[in-house]
Chains A and B, each alone.
Chain A
Amino acid sequence: MENILQEIGIDNYIYLATLLFCIGIFGVLYRRNAIVMFMSIEIMLNAVNLLLVAFSTYHQDAAGQVFVFFSMAVAAAEVAVGLAILVAVFRNHNGIDIDNLKNLKG
């Protein structure tokens, strides 16, 4: 592990994670399907998880990995709630295109 990290360098992990994170952001911005947006957010979260793990290794500190578990658990909870809301939206709107959700404005 140490070798790999040393060989590749922590910077590249950060770049990768940032890239993934940005992909997630663009996904959220670009897509109009709520589920795809969820997935994009998941990509963002996972990018962070990747980063945390990388740093955990870099610092030789388990706390980062523990934190990843927290974050995964939270993300799961979040998605559970999110999907529940999505279901409610689907029932009322017969669709999950977020462009339908423009009633509250002004």
Chain B
Amino acid sequence: METNLALLLLFAPFAGFLINIFFGKKISRTLSGTLGTIAVAVSFAVTVFFFLQVSSTKVPVMVDLFQWLTLQNFSVNFSFQLDQLSLLWLMFVTGIGTLIHVYSISYMHDDENINKFFAYLNLFIFFMITLVMGSNLLIMFIGWEGVGLCSYLLIGFWYKNQDYNDAAKKAFIMNRIGDLGFLIGIFILGYLFHTVEFTGMKSMIDNKWPINESLLGVAMLCLFIGACGKSAQIPLYTWLPDAMAGPTPVSALIHAATMVTAGIFMITRLNFLFNLTPDVLEIIAIVGAITSLVAASIGLVQNDIKKVLAYSTVSQLGLMFLALGLGAYEVAVFHVITHAFFKACLFLGSGSVIHALHGEQDMRNMGGLRKVMKITFITFLISTLAISGLPPLSGFFSKDEILLTAFHHNKPLWVIGSIASIMTAFYMFRLVYLTFYKDFRGTEEQKHHLHESPSLITFPLVVLAILAFFGGAISFPGMSWLNEYLAPVIAKPAVHEHLGTTEYILMGIAVAGAFLGIGLAYNKYISKGEVPPQDSEITGVAGVLYNKYYVDEIYTAIIVKPIYAIGSFFKNVTEVAISAFIFGLGKVAVLLGNEGKTIQNGSIGFYLLFFVLGVCSIIGYIFLVK
């Protein structure tokens, strides 16, 4: 029964994928979308069932299907594990997934390939479930790569535009860099533990299995590289902003709420191993902090509404990694959940705006939308407040806990995180002000068509906004349901300080920082009524930021270009040289043959002379040379 239900949970979206890919063209667009949605909804329902069961029994559900790979040291089975962590993840993956499917029915209605779209979305959910449910690293890796594939497919969904395809390709390749790290990590762990099952490794750690610490450290670092790729951390983050080429629901689902949190999931999953390698944790924390700052600073000056959100996502993911690096796994998970709510809402809201403006994404051409798009505006505002960290919205709690933890462990990181938070508040409100306040700056025609989005679009917005508002309830400081719930899967809970004066002061600082950011934004864009300048006029520091610190250019210059240059070198020099050398051997033979022709000159006298010379040399050799 449990097995079957678990398989239903897993395969419902896959069935949706199959139906949509094979019969999608034959059924109506709405039906296609509805089927896709139902498929995910079924998964959601089953998840809820399991969630309730496991919450009460506290016994994980294990499903073992059949053997997959056999290696000398270990074998890998198709087996799944539904414990607290995976169910929590499944809850919001399938839950938000369902909402976004609903949203997409309307959002993508006019696209001729809507069936493909839903097929890919379903496939994504399928792989995401695989990733989360897998009971060993390799099953997780299937999901890991699978979501990467779906991300590729969906970013390049409008495949006629080669720029979008470039973005998709870039996302896939950068993910693959991480995946290599992941693979290497798996190799080392398999070598060390002779198993890659999470439970197996955990019990070995618990039983004090002797481990080569330094090798384990390498493995963990490799896995972290994998996480960096998937969760867009420095240095592998540049694909995420480009991934905004995909349709907005995709950005909401994959590039904000679910897939990009896979890295955090993986690290949390393996927390018992990461705990053994404090150095790696430190690296994670530093990388996370720097990522959050860098991404936030870039976000300050972006003008594409989705790009701002994308950098915001990178920045928030950075904060999560900061939490992970400090060993506060449950805090990171908490932020993942709240972030999923408000960031999904923000993306969907931006999608609603873009939908209303028929594809316009540049904030310089927006403005004044709050009058026309009330629901969108309100939900968007709630989420913005949440992300900015204003109490009592969900973002406040989660972000504050991260900063608290940082303060206790590592003050410089706290400073960085706080600055990033202030920036977040600034650019998010900049976004709100530019989009919804003042007057509309677009064309007359766009203005004419401005409208609130249909209910299929606004409904998910409302739900998500509510969640973004109240989501913090799952983990109030000091009385956290989440921490208790996750206790079985987290080996060494972070020390939860009692809420004392320091903590309240810190909260105050955080809130003040958020207000500072908001105030700066208000001052600049409402009071002064500034509109960001055109691209060519952006100079100085802003120019550097606007151009994302030229990181893409640097990558191109130091990695892509050299590879092509080496390729050219191989093609034009090495290949030719090797070829010439081998051909040269043949040529020498032919040349010798040609030269030999002059000796064969047709003269009998000459032939006879050679004959006699031959006789003399043979006799000479045999009888005279001893």
Question: CB-CB contacts of A12-29 with B at 8 A, as 1s and 0s?
Answer: 000000000000010011
Stretch of B249-257, B267-275, B336-344, B598-606 lying at the A interface: B598-606
With a cutoff of 8 Å between Cβ atoms, the chain B residues found around residue A106 in the complex are: 597, 600, 602
Query: When chains A and B are docked, how far (Å) is the Cα of A102 from the Cα of B600?
Result: 10
Query: When chains A and B are docked, how far (Å) is the Cα of A2 from the Cα of B439?
Result: 144
Indicate whether B487 reaches chain A with its CB closer than 8 angstroms: no
Question: Are B602 and A101 interface neighbours, CB within 8 A?
Answer: yes
Nearest CB to that of B596 among chain A residues? Answer: A106
Contact of A101 among B597, B604, B609 (CB under 8 A): B604
Question: Are B600 and A105 interface neighbours, CB within 8 A?
Answer: yes
Q: Which chain B residues in 462-513 approach chain A with CB under 8 Å?
A: none
Query: When chains A and B are docked, how far (Å) is the Cα of A29 from the Cα of B109?
Result: 102
Give chain A nearest CB distance to B596 CB in angstroms: 9
Question: Are A102 and B601 interface neighbours, CB within 8 A?
Answer: yes
Query: When chains A and B are docked, how far (Å) is the Cα of A22 from the Cα of B600?
Result: 25
Give chain A nearest CB distance to B573 CB in angstroms: 38
With a cutoff of 8 Å between Cβ atoms, the chain A residues found around residue B609 in the complex are: 29
Nearest CB to that of A28 among chain B residues? Answer: B608
Question: Are B602 and A103 interface neighbours, CB within 8 A?
Answer: yes
Question: Are B608 and A99 interface neighbours, CB within 8 A?
Answer: no
With a cutoff of 8 Å between Cβ atoms, the chain B residues found around residue A101 in the complex are: 602, 604
Give chain B nearest CB distance to A47 CB in angstroms: 15
Nearest CB to that of A34 among chain B residues? Answer: B604
Query: When chains A and B are docked, how far (Å) is the Cα of A32 from the Cα of B601?
Result: 16
Indicate whether B551 reaches chain A with its CB closer than 8 angstroms: no
With a cutoff of 8 Å between Cβ atoms, the chain B residues found around residue A4 in the complex are: none
Indicate whether A8 reaches chain B with its CB closer than 8 angstroms: no
Query: When chains A and B are docked, how far (Å) is the Cα of A7 from the Cα of B414?
Result: 126
Nearest CB to that of A22 among chain B residues? Answer: B612
Q: Which chain A residues in 54-106 approach chain B with CB under 8 Å?
A: 98-99, 101-106
Known interface pairs A25-B612, A29-B609, A106-B597. Does A98 touch B604 (Cβ–Cβ under 8 Å)?
Answer: yes
Question: CB-CB contacts of B592-626 with A at 8 A, as 1s and 0s?
Answer: 00000100111111001100100000000000000
Give chain B nearest CB distance to A25 CB in angstroms: 6
Known interface pairs A25-B612, A29-B612. Does A104 touch B605 (Cβ–Cβ under 8 Å)?
Answer: no
Nearest CB to that of B597 among chain A residues? Answer: A106
Query: When chains A and B are docked, how far (Å) is the Cα of A65 from the Cα of B105?
Result: 118
With a cutoff of 8 Å between Cβ atoms, the chain A residues found around residue B604 in the complex are: 98, 101
With a cutoff of 8 Å between Cβ atoms, the chain B residues found around residue A103 in the complex are: 602
Number of interface residues of A (CB under 8 A): 12
Question: Are B602 and A32 interface neighbours, CB within 8 A?
Answer: no
Query: When chains A and B are docked, how far (Å) is the Cα of A29 from the Cα of B609?
Result: 6
Query: When chains A and B are docked, how far (Å) is the Cα of A44 from the Cα of B612?
Result: 14
Known interface pairs A25-B612, A106-B597. Does A98 touch B602 (Cβ–Cβ under 8 Å)?
Answer: no
Query: When chains A and B are docked, how far (Å) is the Cα of A28 from the Cα of B605?
Result: 8
Question: Are B597 and A29 interface neighbours, CB within 8 A?
Answer: no
Query: When chains A and B are docked, how far (Å) is the Cα of A2 from the Cα of B604?
Result: 43
Query: When chains A and B are docked, how far (Å) is the Cα of A103 from the Cα of B601?
Result: 9
Q: Which of B601, B604, B608 has the most CB of A within 10 A?
A: B604
Nearest CB to that of A99 among chain B residues? Answer: B603
With a cutoff of 8 Å between Cβ atoms, the chain B residues found around residue A98 in the complex are: 604-605
With a cutoff of 8 Å between Cβ atoms, the chain B residues found around residue A104 in the complex are: 602
Question: Are A105 and B612 interface neighbours, CB within 8 A?
Answer: no
Nearest CB to that of A105 among chain B residues? Answer: B602
With a cutoff of 8 Å between Cβ atoms, the chain A residues found around residue B603 in the complex are: 99, 102, 105
With a cutoff of 8 Å between Cβ atoms, the chain A residues found around residue B597 in the complex are: 105-106
Give chain B nearest CB distance to A75 CB in angstroms: 18
Question: Are A29 and B602 interface neighbours, CB within 8 A?
Answer: no
Query: When chains A and B are docked, how far (Å) is the Cα of A105 from the Cα of B600?
Result: 6
Query: When chains A and B are docked, how far (Å) is the Cα of A98 from the Cα of B606?
Result: 11
Query: When chains A and B are docked, how far (Å) is the Cα of A53 from the Cα of B601?
Result: 40
Nearest CB to that of A101 among chain B residues? Answer: B604
Give chain A nearest CB distance to B608 CB in angstroms: 6
With a cutoff of 8 Å between Cβ atoms, the chain A residues found around residue B602 in the complex are: 101-106
Nearest CB to that of A31 among chain B residues? Answer: B605
Give chain B nearest CB distance to A84 CB in angstroms: 18
Give chain A nearest CB distance to B466 CB in angstroms: 97
With a cutoff of 8 Å between Cβ atoms, the chain A residues found around residue B601 in the complex are: 102, 105
Query: When chains A and B are docked, how far (Å) is the Cα of A104 from the Cα of B607?
Result: 12
Query: When chains A and B are docked, how far (Å) is the Cα of A15 from the Cα of B608?
Result: 23
Query: When chains A and B are docked, how far (Å) is the Cα of A65 from the Cα of B602?
Result: 39
Nearest CB to that of B602 among chain A residues? Answer: A105
Give chain A nearest CB distance to B590 CB in angstroms: 14
Give chain B nearest CB distance to A23 CB in angstroms: 13
Nearest CB to that of A25 among chain B residues? Answer: B612
With a cutoff of 8 Å between Cβ atoms, the chain B residues found around residue A29 in the complex are: 605, 608-609, 612
With a cutoff of 8 Å between Cβ atoms, the chain B residues found around residue A25 in the complex are: 612
Ordered by A's residue number, 15 sampled pairs between the chains whose C-beta atoms are within 8 Å are A25-B612, A28-B608, A29-B605, A32-B605, A98-B605, A101-B602, A101-B604, A102-B601, A104-B602, A105-B597, A105-B600, A105-B602, A105-B603, A106-B597, A106-B602
- The 8 tightest CB contacts between A and B, nearest first, are A105-B602, A102-B602, A106-B597, A98-B604, A105-B601, A102-B603, A104-B602, A29-B608
Given contacts A29-B605, A29-B609, A106-B602, 7 further A-B contacts (CB under 8 A): A25-B612, A32-B605, A98-B605, A102-B602, A105-B603, A106-B597, A106-B600
Give residues in A with beta carbon < 8 Å to B: 25, 28-29, 32, 98-99, 101-106
